[in-house]
Structures are given as structure tokens and as C-alpha cells.
Structure 1
Amino acid sequence: MKKTFAFTSLAALAVAGAVSFTTLSAAQGTDEQPAVADAETAVAVDPSKEITIWRDPGCGCCDAYADYLEAEGYRVIRIDDRDFAKTSVSVGVPEEGLGCHLAKIDGYYVSGLVPAEIVERLVTERPDIDGITLPGMPQNAPGMAGKSGTLKTYAFDDGEVSVYSNE
């Protein structure tokens, strides 16, 4: 009798466990699953791949540059700022070195149409500077028509300017 009672108790526990497992599995396939999926996809974007661009809303080359960065794997946030030049100077970009827009990535300012490989080098090497600038709108810069020739990018920090890249 004791063996039958023990066997019946074990069988009941096994059935209860199977029912609980089935119920939990079924619940995950309903409304509870999106919350789990959202938690999994809510991983923060790598700051070295998220870039904010302040640009003149009528500037087609700024949009072309943003599209170029997106094609290079960046998440681009575009902010319309008709007075981006004033904003640029306020963060340390030298007036004589202004590019056609201002960007910020991983704590650095980037002024102008700087190629993605130079931006990547900046956030990888992490030099002790405020940022870099590619002055003006060179025809061979990303977002412009041409594709060949060298581009001289400058580093700026506390009023000091030096060549960062000449490629």
C-alpha cells in the first residue's frame, strides 16, 4: 500500500510539472513574449556608431553625407540647425576651419564631410582633442560629387589646431 501511495504521489508530481512547463511555454508564445523580445532588442547602440548631425535643413550634401554614414553602419540622428556655424564655433571648431555641418560622436565633434574611416580612427584611437574638421566642402569628400584626391582633416582642442589626417 505504501508503495502504491508513493508511486501515485510521484506520478501526480510528474503530471503537475508537465502541466506547469506546458503552461509556461504557451504563455511565452502569447503577449508575454514581446516583452522578452523587447528586452533583448533594447541593447544600447554602440556610441562609436551613433552620430548626431546639426545641419542646414536645405543642404543636400549634408543629407548625402548622412546617407553615406548610414551605409557605413552608423545610426545617424539629423537635427535641423540653420545656425550650425555658430553652434560649431561654440564647441571649439575654429572659424577658419568650419565644415558644412557639425556632428558629435562618442564625445568628439566632427565638422564637415569627414570620411568614415577617419571618424572610425578618431573614436578608436581616442586622442585628447575636442574634435576634427574638414573645412569647407571639398569636391572629393563624401557627400560631394568627386571621389579622388587627398583630404586634409584638422584636429582642434582649446584653440589649438593641428593636422589630424592628410589622405
Structure 2
Amino acid sequence: MRAAKLMVLLLAACSQSPSAEEAGKPLEMTVYRSPTCGCCGKWLEHAKQNGFKINDVISEDMETIKARFGVPEKLASCHTAIVDGHVIEGHVPAADIQKLLQSKSKIVGIAAPGMPMGSPGMEMGGQQDAYKVVSFDKDGKYEVFAEHGSNQ
């Protein structure tokens, strides 16, 4: 009887395998971007420096990609990334992506609408806009996920 309980506990522990991040492996992120956007390349570097392994996909048809992944038009930016089943739209800081992944949230994704000055990949000296990163669901509803810049 005791051996059976031990076996059940061992099987339960083994079935809860860690995520790639928990196992110390870099999380894979697929990034879709236009071939003409230089700031997207800077954002890719930011993501790499923060532990993400990048699959860089150049596309001439970003509107179709955004529609396929359910990015609300109001939240669109210049590039769209997919990591661990979540959509990351635009110049979202890596810390916000990590916060989303750790939360185990059911939201579709997070976005930094537009191209806020001072966000990762959009650095312009010391200039920085106050901006919000918002989460969105499958129905296109969104709410503030994080705030950045001088008006926090």
C-alpha cells in the first residue's frame, strides 16, 4: 500500500513538467515584421538580451498576420510576436512579457499601441513618452496591464 502511494506521488510530480523558462531554456518567440522597419530590429535585440530565442519572420502582409492572431485594430503597432501562445504587439518591454508569462493568464496578449518614444526599440536619447501596455482578450476587450514613462 505504501509503495503504491509513493508511486502515485512520483507519477504526479513527473507529470508536472516545467516550462522552458523554468527549466532554464530560453523561451522561443516568433516575431513577424515588415522588412522596412528598423525599430523592429532594435526591439528584437531587446528581446534577445532578455533571454528570448527569436524566430524572425519577415512579411509584406502584416495586416493579415495581425488579423490571424486577433490583434484589435486600435492596438496595432509595427510588429507582432507570439510567445508561449500569447500575442505580443509592438514595443512591449521584456519585463511585461515575463510578467504575462508568469501570471498564467487566459488573455490573448498584450500590446504597446502605436510606437511610443522611449519604449524598447524606440529609444531617442533621453526622450520618453508616457505609455501604457494593455492586455486584450479574444473579444477585443482590453485594459491597462502596465504603465511606463513619466506619468505613472
TM-score, normalised via structure 1 length: 0.68
Identity, % of aligned positions = 31
- Corresponding residue SS for 2:110: strand
Matched letter for residue 119 of structure 1: I
Amino acid at match of 1:155: S
In 2, the alpha carbon distance for the partners of 1:89 and 1:154 equals 18
- Whether 1:165 aligns to 2:143 is no
27, 52, 58: which one pairs with 2:36? 58
Indicate which of 82, 100, 112 corresponds to 1:122: 100
Q: 1:89 is matched with which residue: 45, 67, 70? A: 67
User: Which residue identity lines up with residue 121 of structure 1 in the other structure?
Assistant: K
User: Does the CA-based 8 Å contact 1:52-1:103 persist in structure 2?
Assistant: yes
Secondary structure in 1 matching 2:107: coil
Q: Distance in 2 between matches of 1:156 and 1:85?
A: 17
Q: 2:141 aligned with 1:156, yes or no? A: no
Q: Which SS does the other structure have where 1:85 is aligned?
A: helix
In structure 2, the partner of 1:22 is none
| Aligned-residue offset at 1:90 | 2.5
* Cα RMSD after superposing both structures: 1.9
Q: Name which one, 1 or 2, has greater alpha-carbon Rg.
A: 1
Cα distance in 1 between the residues matched to 2:43 and 2:136: 21
Question: Map of 1:1-167 to 2, 5 A cutoff?
Answer: 46=21, 49-146=27-124, 148-158=128-138, 159-167=140-148
Structure 2, unaligned stretches of length 5 or more? 1-18
Runs of 5+ unmatched residues, structure 1:
1-43
* Alpha-carbon displacement from aligned partner over 1:40-98 (angstroms, at most 9, x marks no partner): xxxx9547721110000121111111011111121111001121232112221110110
Q: Return the alpha-carbon distance in structure 1 between the equivalents of residues 117 and 63 of structure 2.
A: 20
Pick the structure with more strand per residue: 2
Equivalent residue pairs, number: 124
TM-score by length of 2: 0.74
CA contact (8 A) 2:26 2:53 kept: no
Task: Give secondary structure in 2 for the equivalent of 1:122.
Answer: helix
Kept after mapping to 2: 8 A contact 1:48/1:106:
no
Supply the distance in 1 between the matched residues of 2:49 and 2:42 (Cα, whole angstroms). 11
What is the distance in 2 between the residues matched to 1:79 and 1:115? 20
Instruction: Check the 8 A contact 2:26/2:51 in 1, yes or no.
Output: no
Q: Distance in 2 between matches of 1:48 and 1:164?
A: 23
